[in-house]
Amino acid sequence: MAKPVETIKKKPNSKAIAAITLAVILILTLASVVIGVSGMKLDQDGLYKLLAWIPTPLESSSWREALVPGTDLGENRVQTYAIVTEEGAAPSEEQLSDTVNVLTKRLLFGGWNSAQAEVVEGNKIRLSLPLDGTHDHAFEMLAAKGEFALADPEGIAFLNHERVKQAAYGPTPNEDSYAISFLLDNEGKQIFADKTTELLGQSISLMIDGVAVASPGINVPLVDGQASLPGFNDETSLAYASMMQYGPLPLDLKLEDQSLKGLPIFGANVQNMLIISLGIAVLLVMLYALFTFRMGGLIAVWLMIIQLISVHFFAALLNSGFTTVTLLAIYGSFGLLVFALMILYRSMKRDLVRGRAIRQSLKEAYGGSGKVAIDTLVGLLLIAVVLIIVDQQQIGSFMRIFAMGLLIDLILIGIGLKVLLGSAITIFGTNSSLYTGVTAKKEAAL
Q: Which residues form the interface with other proteins (CB under 8 A)?
A: 72, 97, 100-101, 104, 108, 116-120, 265-268, 270, 273-274, 276-278, 280-281, 284-285, 324-325, 327-328, 331-332, 335-336, 338-339, 342-343, 346, 368-369, 371-372, 375-376, 378-380, 382-383, 386-387, 390-391, 393-395, 398, 402
Q: Report the alpha-carbon distance of residue 297 to residue 370 in Å, rounded.
A: 17
* Smallest gap from residue 289 Cβ to other proteins (A): 11
Spatial CB neighbours of 183, under 8 Å, sequence gap ≥ 6: 164, 165, 166, 167, 225, 226
**Closest CB to other proteins among 113 and 236?**
113
* Smallest gap from residue 229 Cβ to other proteins (A): 28
* Smallest gap from residue 33 Cβ to other proteins (A): 21
Contact predicate 353/359, CB 8 Å: no
* Smallest gap from residue 161 Cβ to other proteins (A): 19
Q: Report the alpha-carbon distance of residue 373 to residue 347 in Å, rounded.
A: 11
Spatial CB neighbours of 201, under 8 Å, sequence gap ≥ 6: 217, 218, 219
**Closest CB to other proteins among 178 and 345?**
345
Q: Which among 225, 236, 249, 231 has a CA at the least distance from the CA of 150?
A: 225
Contact predicate 405/333, CB 8 Å: yes
**Closest CB to other proteins among 298 and 325?**
325
**Closest CB to other proteins among 115 and 151?**
115
**Closest CB to other proteins among 40 and 372?**
372
Contact predicate 329/355, CB 8 Å: no
* Smallest gap from residue 326 Cβ to other proteins (A): 11
**Closest CB to other proteins among 238 and 327?**
327
What is the b/e burial string over 256-286, where b = at least 16 CB atoms within 10 angstroms of the residue's CB?
eebeeebebbbeeebbeebbeebeeebeebb
**H/E segment holding residue 52:** none
**Closest CB to other proteins among 26 and 328?**
328
* Smallest gap from residue 389 Cβ to other proteins (A): 9
* Smallest gap from residue 293 Cβ to other proteins (A): 13
Q: How many CB atoms lie within 10 A of CB 31?
A: 11
Q: How many CB atoms lie within 10 A of CB 94?
A: 9
Strand, coil or helix: 176: coil
